[in-house]
Amino acid sequence: MKDLNLEKTIELLNTIMEFELAGVVRYTHYSLMVTGPNRIPIVDFFKAQATESLLHAQQAGEILTGIGGHPSQKISPIEESYQHSVSDLLHESLNHEQAALDMYKQLLSTVENASVYLEEYTRGMIGTEELHTIELKKMLRDFS
């Protein structure tokens, strides 16, 4: 096994934490902006995404502090498109989830063959983010 690059791992975990915390705000905002006949299940979906983003931020923070890092108190920038149709919100969600997927893949390339635990954690998160992108793509099919 190779040595774990602690500095890079801590940096990436902080970036992930900031991004996931931004997801809490993003998805909470989306849940408030949904209108129309399908509002209730879509609001529930966005609220669940916000809750899950908070859990992901907490998981990253626990690992971060466990390996000696200091968690950031920032969140990633959140762009406001002012486009709030369900289709627009789902497209923005898909972009957000794909960006998260890319971050976890960066973390995997850093921890792979250096820490079994971190590698397994990261692979699990990649699987979760891939599932989110699949679900969002399925939800968007009705809008094409």
Task: Give tens-digit pLDDT for 43-62.
Answer: 999 999 999 999 999 999 99
CA distance 92 to 22: 13
Confidence of residue 140 (pLDDT cuts 50, 70, 90): very high
Q: What is the mean pLDDT of residues 60-88?
A: 96
Confidence of residue 1 (pLDDT cuts 50, 70, 90): confident
Average pLDDT, the chain: 96
Confidence of residue 14 (pLDDT cuts 50, 70, 90): very high
Count of positions (residues) in the chain:
144
Q: Using the predicted structure, report yes or no on whether residue 41 has a pLDDT greater than 90.
A: yes
Q: What is the mean pLDDT of residues 134-139?
A: 96
State pLDDT tens for residues 83-112: 999 999 999 999 999 999 999 999 999 999
Cβ neighbourhood burial of 120 (10 Å; 0-12, 13-18, 19+): exposed
Confidence of residue 142 (pLDDT cuts 50, 70, 90): confident
CA distance 48 to 33: 15
